[in-house]
Structure 1
Amino acid sequence: MSAPEIALPGFDLSAFVEATLAEDLGGAADAARDLTATACLPADARLKAVLDSRDRVVVAGLPLAAAFFRRLDPACAIHMLVADGDEVAAGTDLMTVEGNARALLAAERSALNTLQHLTGIATLTRRYVEAIEGTEATLLDTRKTLPGLRHLEKYAVRMGGGQNHRMGLWDAPMVKDNHIAAAGGITPAVAACKAAGLSDITVEVDRIDQIEPAIAAGADRLLLDNMPPPVLREAVALVAGRVPTEASGGVNLDSIRAIAETGVSHISVGRLTQSAPAADVGMDYLE
C-alpha cells in the first residue's frame, strides 16, 4: 500500500520535516550537504531499503518517515507493509523505500528518529491500555511532552489506544493547586473561571475534604491527585457519579490496575510521553 496522509490538525508537518532535516544537514534540507553520501555515491545512484522493527512494537509514525524521504526525493517509491496502530512482531518489515541513494541516506536518520520515538510511545501506551482492560477506566495522556512535538506524541498515544487529554492550556480549563492557592481557594478559582465564560472545568484536589467544596463550586470534573488506591476508592464513593473522576500522579504499569479498579473514570499518565523508550527500528539496504 502507498504511504497514507496523516491528519494532525494544528501541526505544520512540512515545517517540521524541513526544520528537522535542516538541523541534520547544517542549515538546509539539501541532500548535497550530506558529506559522506555525496563523496561515496554518484549523483544518480539508486537505493532500495527496508525499515524493519527489531522488537515487538505498536507502530506509529510511518507516514512521517515517508514525508522525510519524499522531501529529499519527491519521486521515491514507498510501499507500506503495515499501518500505524498495528502491533507487529520482532523482525517485521514495516515499509520499503526506493529512490535516489544520496537523498534517501540523507533523510534516513531524521525518518528513523521520528519513527522510533513515536513507535516507542505507542508501544508503551498499548501496555498501559492492556493493563486496565476490563475496567471502566479510560487512559489519558498529559501535557508532559517534548517541546515542539506535542501533536506528534499525542498522535502516537492515539495509535497505542489511549486518548488525548487537553492539547494545551488553550483548549480546556484545569484549576490546579497553584491556581487555587493564588486565587484564594477552590470556590473563588472556579467562580472566576465561570465568570470568564469557561465550561467543562476540571478541578485538582489532593485531599478528600476538598471534594465537596469543588463540586459545590461547580467543578465539572475532578482530578484526584496523588491519592493511593484506598483513598481513591473513598473519593469515588463520595463523588458518587456526580462528576467524572480522573486519577493522576505517580501512575506506572505496576500500579495502574489497582488504580483502575477503584472505579475512577479516567487515569492520566505522564510517562506515556515523558518516559517512553525509543523503539528499535532500523533501515537496511536491499539487494
Structure 2
Amino acid sequence: MIKITLPDGSLREYDQPLSVHEVAASIGPGLANAAVAGRVDGALVDCEFMIKANARVSIVTPQEPDGLEILRRSCSLMLAMAVKQLHSHAQMRTGSVLGDGFFCEFAVERPLTSTDLPLIEARMQSLAATNHSIRRRDTPSPSLHPEHLSVYRLGDSEYLTTGPHVPTTKVLQAFALDHISGTLQQRIYGTCWSSHQELQQWRLPPHVMVVSIDESQASYAQSVTETLRRTGVRALADLRHEKVGYKIRQHSQTVPYLVVIGEKEQAGGFVSVRSRSGEDFGRMKVEVACEWLRQPGNGHV
C-alpha cells in the first residue's frame, strides 16, 4: 500500500505504484488536464514519474511560477522542433527559459530573418494542435550527462535539457515569437503564458522597460521587473543578448522610462532610471524606484 499525502494534509492510499498524472486524475479530471509536473517530497518531476513509496505529493499547474517556467522550457523545445522542420540545415545549440519567455540558439548555414518568425510560429501552433508527447528517456549512463540535464524526446528528435517538461504540446497554447538576432549563430526569442488573456496583457505597451547590460544580470533584472509589476507599474524586461546601446535606442522610441541594470546596480541592489528623452535620474534602490515610478506622470498605469 502506497500512502500519498496531499498539500492540504489529506491522505490517499493506492494499492500499487502510480504516476504523478494518475495521482492528479484520482483527485479530479480538471486537475489531471491542468497538470504540467509534480512535486514529490519537494522535488520537481515529470507527470510520468512513478511513485513507488510513501510520499508527499503536489500537482504543479501553470498557475504557479514553477509551472509557468515549465511551460516556457517546453516551448523552447517546440521552437527547436519547428525550426528543424522548416530549416533542416539549422542545428540547435541551446535553449532556455529567459524572463517572461524562452529562447533557442541555432547554428545556421543561411541566416534567418524576422520575416521567418511568423512561419515558425505558425508551425509551432500546428505542433501544439497535433499534441506531441514530450518524454524523458532513461539512458544507460546518465552520469555522463551534465548535472541537472536529461534526454527528452519530442517528435523524432532528442534533446539534452533541464526538466521537467510538460507531458504533451497541447498544453502550450499562449505563446508568441518576437525577436531574432545574430547571423550564423542565431537566437530566436519568444514569450509563453498560461492563457491567451495573460499573453494579451503582456503585449500591452509598457510604461517601464528594464534593460540588462549583459546576461549575467538577467535574473536580477527579471526580479526587478516583477517587483515593479507588484507595485502597479506596467513593466517589461529586455534580457536579450544584444548590445545595451541597441536596446536603449530601440525602446527610447516608444517607452516612457528605462531602468538600466549592470554589474554595479546588481551588486548594490540598485537600478538606474532614465526617461525616453535621455534625462538621467540616477541610481535608486529598487523600492525607491518603484515608489517614484508609481507617482502620477512617472509611468504609473
TM range (shorter): under 0.3
Q: Which has the higher helix share?
A: 1
Q: Which has the higher strand share?
A: 2
TM-score (norm 2): 0.22
Higher alpha-carbon Rg: 1
